[in-house]
Structure 1
Amino acid sequence: MFITAVLLSFLAHLFVQGSQPWKALDPEQTLYVYKRCYEDHLPSGSSRRSYMLLWNDWKLEPNDAITHCYAKCVMTGLQLYDPKDNTFKSERIPIQHEAFKSLNRADSREVIEYQKAMASISSGTGSCVELYNAYLPVHNRFVNLSRKLYHGTVEGAARIYAAMPQLKQKGESYHAYCEKRAWNGRNQADLRKARKYVLTGSPELKKAIDCIFRGLRYMDDTGLKVDEVVRDFGLIYQSQLEPEVRSVLASCRGTQAYDYYSCLVNSKLKEEFKKAFDFHELRSADYAYLLRGKVYEGPKKVREEMKKLNTTVHF
């Protein structure tokens, strides 16, 4: 009887999760997609800058394997393509438009044409090259429109940030953003303890950690993204700790962000986790940080750079 009840509860959760309407992406979300896809796909060496300049201008060039997989990364991140069922999601285009139509200055009739064009193409096998070849004619025809819809212009994104102060702003770290939402100026003693990695267990800290884990892309509605946590250890030159990181997270009791955070803070990895977590805070205020060739130079340097940002610093 107990097993049946648990199974029904689990199936109900999947049904609710699967039936949730798709939500339009805000400028923070799309900016993260663009910069992360740059990080993952820009080549090293002398050609790196030429690729970056072309992609900055929304040109899917050169026509090679690097650009093919960059294009797939962006389409996946913008949720125009779903790799799970290997389909383009043209029905999401008008939803994206409606959410920001008073600010994006896109032509509604052109949006309909863009949706029709997307609906007419096939994803093939879902490979980088087949997705690229299918989407490229659509992209070239509607590139100016898609830039408006997906916040790809400085002016358009600025209008939305100004009109929606509830969004995480450029130059604001995710930690500072989530602190404002969780503590809202109250219980500052608890906040100060939390900033020192004290596990107070307060509702405010739990809310903040859930917000931060989602902002750092450690978690989403499907659960923990272990690879993202592991990646952060690698960025502070601690890749050798990957097996231990995975072990700590796998053995953690509970599935909430605060559960995983507590397990890391209570583990032998605590000091290295603090360094990785603090470095990601810095990068969360500036999604182009790594793209400018900047690297981790230790806790002191992180503290110095945090003080230069337009963000709340508690070091």
Structure 2
Amino acid sequence: ALYLIKHIMQLFFWLHDLLVNLLLPLSHWQWYIPKLTHIELVFVFISVLTIFMFYVMKWYLKCAIVCLSLTLIIALLPFDHLARFTLFDVGNGDAMLFETPLHSTVMIDTGGKLMPSNNDYRGSITKYKILPALKQRNIHQLDYLIITHPHLDHMGEFKYLASMVKIKSLIINPSSYQSVQYSNIYTIAKLHNISIIDSTTITHIDLDECSIQLLDAAIITSNDKNEHSIITLINYKQYQLLLMADATIRNEQLLLQRYNLKNIDVLKVGHHGSITSSSGEFIASIKPKISVISASKNNRYQFPASQVVSRLAKSSDKIYNTAQHGAITIVFDAQMKTSVEKS
């Protein structure tokens, strides 16, 4: 009897391994279901009832046709054709996404955090903060990812993000990185067929109706990597978005000297609202209408600094902070509608 049980168990294990090997490749296929409107949910509900009715009536072919049609409709559902900017709630880090009305995308930084060397990082920021938003919006790929400078709170999620989402092009300034850092980035990019673009070789990107400028204000000779930050200006119709990464007051002075930046609609405040950035002269010159800050609640650096918030309040109609409001999304319609979503 024991001999028979042993062979039966071996057969079960063999079948188990066979099924796992057959089905494992399917785990690489991702089906994103977008966030549905009330009308779309009613349509889905009626379709599911129809499928059950056909099944009960043993009209299996009709049941299969409706089921397949519903699957395709949900997967290929048309979306709102709106330009949209999102500042993700990633704590003391930066991760931003800009979407065009034709669903092209550019992401600036990935967020990240310092982990003990003996821990295997599982990409919790990407998994719980970024991927859910991408799935809701049916975003399967990023046309561009800009990593502004080599600090973990801006690039720490790159490896995990690249394994989960197709990234077509990565924009960095290679001279900002140590050889080991750049080697790691190159290895990840090669593994996932991501082309690397040197930010110093381009000045702008045309993305559908948008023009994305990479502003020349980095101080590469500085020992402070924050001063290596790639500063991004997004122009869409009459709107201007200025994304400052961790740029300092010295970078701001160069910007004012080299560019005519006036009446900025959305400012991603530099260095999480630190006093090292957002000088009075700079804020008074660009006059941002909406200022957004990426920081974590009760952070040890006490970001944002009260002086910076006071300066911003003189020019900005609204100030948003991820520590208080969660993820911040701005839709560039006639009203420039803003919404927030706490995790």
Band the TM-score falls in, shorter-chain normalisation? under 0.3
Could you say which structure has the larger radius of gyration? 2
Q: Say which structure is richer in strand.
A: 2
User: Which structure exhibits the higher relative contact order, with contacts defined as CA atoms closer than 8 Å and separated by 6 or more residues?
Assistant: 1
